[in-house]
C-alpha cells in the first residue's frame, strides 16, 4: 500500500467563552433577564448588585473593562503562578460598577425605579386542584384525579387515552386503575369551572358547556342536537343538510350558530398563567414619537447595576499587605482572581447585550421609520435579516436571535421584532413592496367582503392584480393560510 502526503486548508471558527455567553444572553427576554442575573450572582459570589441605583448615561455605552477580557482571565493555577501573582489590577477602587443601561430621562413613565405590575392569581392547574379538594374521594381516587388534572393541557383538554393514563398510574405510582374508574372521575372533573374543562375533543368541550345552559330552552336543545348528530356537517358549513335532517328554519339555524360562536373552544386559555404570556408581554424597547422625531429607549428594568464584590477586593488587599504567603494562600488568591475575571466577563457580556439590542433595534427603526411614525402596515418596506446585518455589521445569526425573542412597544401597540421582517413582491411598475403590505390588503378585503358570498382565492387574486400586485393564486392561498383565514366556503354566513 502506497503512502501519500497531502496539504489541506480548513477555515474553522471557534467561539470564545465570552461569545457563547453573549449569544445565550441575547436570547433571554428582558422579562427573564433579572432571573438570569440572580442565577449568575448565586454561582459567583464575586458578582453583586450595587446597593444604590446608579444613573445611566444619556444613551452612551461605557466600556468598564478596557482591553480584552479573554487576556485578563487567569488559567487554572500552575506552579509558576504561585511565585508570580500580580493583583494590582484587581484591587482598584470602585471602578467596575456596570454603566450599560440606556435610558432617556425625558420619559419618567419608564423610569428604572418603577416596578412592573404582575397578576397575582392561581395558575390554571392550581385552580383545578383547589376544586378537586372539594370532592369526597378516597386516597386512590384522589391520586387518580390528580393524575388526570396533571394530564389536562393548557387549552383545557384531556387528550390522552384512558389506557395510557392507566399505564402511567401503574408504572409511576403503583396504582391499578381500570378505564371505568378513570372515566368516572373524568365526569366529575368535567363539572369543574370553567365549563368545558377536561373534554377529549372540541365537540365534547362545546357540549359540556351547552349542558349547563339547558334551562335556557329550545335554542340550546337544537344546538346540542346539531353538535351531537351533525358536527362534521356543521364544521364544513353544510347547513342545508342540517336543516333538512333536523327540520330547522333559517331562524332556528341562525340562533343555534349564535349559541355556538359564544362558546369557548379553549376553556383553559383564560385561567391563571396559561394566558399571562400573551396578556403581560414586557417590551424590550420603547419607541416614542416626539414631534415626528422617533426616539428609542431600551427597557432596563430587569438589568440591575452590577459590580465586583468589595469583599473579594478586600481579600486580595489583605493578601497583598501580608508578608507570609504560603501555598494555600496563593491557591485562594488564584481562585479569587478567577471568580473576579468571571464576574468581569458577565458584566461585559451584559453591556454587550444591551449594546447589540440597541444597535439592532435602532437599525430596524430607521429602516421602517414610516411605520413607526404612522402605524400603517402598508408602509412597511421589504426587510430581511441580511438588511439589518449589513447596517449594523452584526452576524445574521445575531440579528435573528434578537428578532425572534424581543418586543418593542410603540404608540400603536406592542410588536415582536420579527413582525417587521418580510420578503418582497414586485408591482406592475417594478416597485418592490413588502409581502406584509400585501397581506394587510388581503386581510382588509376579507374583512370587507359579503359574508353571504365570500371572495374566493381566484377573486382575491384578480382584485390584487387589479391593484397592481403581481401575485399568483397559490401565493394568495398561502398568505391567506398564514393569516389564519379559512377558505371562502367556511367564511360563509347565513
Residue-by-residue DSSP string for 96-112: ---------TT-GGG-T
pLDDT of the residue at 232? 87
pLDDT tens, residue by residue, 141-153? 888 888 888 888 8
> 455: which DSSP letter?
P
CB 206 within 8 A of CB 223: no
Instruction: Please give the backbone phi and psi of residue 360, each rounded to the nearest 5 degrees, phi first.
Output: -65, -50
pLDDT of the residue at 494? 67
Q: How many CB atoms within 10 Å of residue 306?
A: 24
Tell me which residue of 416, 307, 304, 388 sits closest to 354, measured CA to CA. 304
pLDDT of the residue at 323? 58
pLDDT of the residue at 324? 59
pLDDT of the residue at 59? 38
Say how far apart CA 368 and CA 363 lie, in whole Å.
9
CB 444 within 8 A of CB 393: no
pLDDT of the residue at 220? 87
**Residue 213 contacts by C-beta under 8 Å, 6 or more apart in sequence?**
220, 259
109 phi-psi bin (left φ>0, alpha ψ -120 to 50, beta other): alpha
pLDDT of the residue at 393? 92
Tell me which residue of 275, 299, 7, 252 sits closest to 122, measured CA to CA. 275
Are β-strands 285-289 and 47-49 bridged in parallel, bridged antiparallel, or unpaired?
A: unpaired
Q: Which residue has the cell 378513570?
A: 182
179 phi-psi bin (left φ>0, alpha ψ -120 to 50, beta other): alpha
Tell me which residue of 201, 112, 184 sits closest to 145, measured CA to CA. 184
pLDDT of the residue at 362? 94
pLDDT of the residue at 444? 87
Give the pLDDT means over successive 10-residue stretches in the chain (494 positions). 63 58 75 81 80 43 41 44 52 49 45 44 76 88 88 86 88 86 90 89 90 83 89 85 87 86 79 40 88 87 71 72 67 79 83 89 93 86 89 89 86 87 68 74 86 86 83 85 82 74
Tell me which residue of 383, 371, 359 sits closest to 289, measured CA to CA. 371
DSSP bridge partners of 383:
422
DSSP bridge partners of 357:
none
CB 154 within 8 A of CB 124: yes
Say how far apart CA 494 and CA 487 lie, in whole Å.
16
pLDDT of the residue at 193? 86
Q: How many CB atoms within 10 Å of residue 450?
A: 9
Using the Cα atoms of residue 475, residue 476, residue 481 and residue 487 in order, give the sign of their dihedral: negative
CB 350 within 8 A of CB 38: no
**Joined grid coordinates for residue 282:** 414586557
Instruction: Please give the backbone phi and psi of residue 317, each rounded to the nearest 5 degrees, phi first.
Output: -65, -40
Task: Output the DSSP codes for 329-356.
Answer: HHHHHHHHHHHHHHHHHHHHHHHHHHHH
Angle at the Cα of 17 from the Cα atoms of 14 and 23, rounded to 5 degrees: 90
DSSP bridge partners of 434:
424
Helix axis angle for 250-261 and 239-246, nearest 10°, is 110
Say how far apart CA 307 and CA 299 lie, in whole Å.
20
Amino acid at each position: 500500500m502506497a503512502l501519500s502526503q497531502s496539504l489541506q486548508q480548513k477555515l474553522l471558527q471557534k467561539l470564545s467563552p465570552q461569545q457563547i455567553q453573549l449569544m445565550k444572553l441575547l436570547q433571554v427576554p428582558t422579562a427573564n433577564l433579572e432571573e438570569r442575573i440572580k442565577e449568575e450572582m448565586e454561582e459567583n459570589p464575586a458578582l453583586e448588585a450595587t446597593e444604590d441605583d446608579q444613573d445611566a448615561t444619556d444613551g452612551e455605552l461605557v466600556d468598564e473593562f478596557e482591553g480584552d477580557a479573554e487576556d485578563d482571565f487567569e488559567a487554572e493555577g500552575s506552579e509558576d503562578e504561585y511565585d508570580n501573582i500580580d493583583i494590582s489590577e484587581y484591587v482598584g477602587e470602585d471602578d467596575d460598577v456596570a454603566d450599560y443601561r440606556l435610558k432617556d430621562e425625558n420619559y419618567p413613565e419608564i423610569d428604572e425605579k418603577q416596578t412592573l405590575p404582575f397578576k397575582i392569581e392561581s395558575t390554571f392547574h392550581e385552580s383545578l386542584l383547589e376544586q378537586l379538594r372539594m370532592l369526597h374521594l378516597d386516597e386512590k381516587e384522589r391520586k387518580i384525579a390528580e393524575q388526570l388534572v396533571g394530564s389536562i393541557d393548557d387549552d383545557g383538554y384531556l387528550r390522552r387515552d384512558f389506557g395510557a393514563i392507566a399505564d402511567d398510574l401503574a408504572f409511576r405510582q403503583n396504582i391499578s386503575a381500570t378505564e371505568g374508574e378513570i372515566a368516572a372521575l373524568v365526569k366529575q372533573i368535567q363539572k369543574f369551572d370553567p365549563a368545558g374543562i377536561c373534554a377529549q375533543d372540541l365537540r365534547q368541550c362545546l357540549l359540556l358547556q351547552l349542558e349547563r345552559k339547558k334551562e335556557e330552552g329550545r335554542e340550546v336543545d337544537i344546538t346540542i342536537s346539531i353538535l351531537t348528530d351533525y358536527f362534521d356537517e356543521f364544521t364544513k358549513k353544510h347547513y342545508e343538510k342540517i336543516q333538512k335532517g333536523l327540520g330547522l328554519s333559517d331562524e332556528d339555524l341562525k340562533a343555534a350558530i349564535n349559541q355556538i360562536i359564544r362558546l369557548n373552544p379553549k376553556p383553559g386559555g383564560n385561567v391563571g398563567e396559561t394566558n399571562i404570556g400573551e396578556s403581560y408581554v414586557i417590551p424590550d424597547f420603547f419607541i416614542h414619537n416626539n414631534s415626528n422625531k422617533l426616539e428609542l429607549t431600551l427597557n432596563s428594568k430587569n438589568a440591575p447595576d452590577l459590580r465586583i464584590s468589595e469583599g473579594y477586593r478586600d481579600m486580595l488587599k489583605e493578601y497583598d499587605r501580608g508578608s507570609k504567603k504560603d501555598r494555600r494562600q496563593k491557591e485562594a488568591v488564584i481562585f479569587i482572581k478567577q471568580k473576579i475575571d468571571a464576574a468581569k466577563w458577565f458584566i461585559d457580556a451584559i453591556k454587550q447585550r444591551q449594546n447589540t439590542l440597541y444597535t439592532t433595534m435602532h437599525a430596524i427603526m430607521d429602516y421602517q421609520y414610516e411605520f413607526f411614525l404612522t402605524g400603517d402596515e402598508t408602509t412597511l418596506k421589504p426587510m430581511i435579516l441580511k438588511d439589518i446585518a449589513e447596517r449594523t455589521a452584526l452576524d445574521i445569526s445575531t440579528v435573528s436571535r434578537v428578532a425572534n425573542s424581543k418586543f418593542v412597544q410603540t404608540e400603536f401597540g406592542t410588536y415582536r421584532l420579527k413582525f417587521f421582517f418580510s420578503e418582497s413582491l414586485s408591482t406592475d411598475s417594478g416597485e418592490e413592496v413588502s409581502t406584509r403590505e400585501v397581506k394587510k390588503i388581503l386581510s382588509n378585503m376579507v374583512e370587507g367582503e359579503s359574508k353571504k358570498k365570500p371572495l374566493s382565492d381566484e377573486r382575491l387574486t384578480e382584485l390584487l392584480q387589479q391593484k397592481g400586485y403581481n401575485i399568483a393564486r397559490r401565493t394568495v392561498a398561502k398568505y391567506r393560510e398564514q393569516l389564519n383565514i379559512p377558505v371562502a366556503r367556511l367564511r360563509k354566513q347565513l
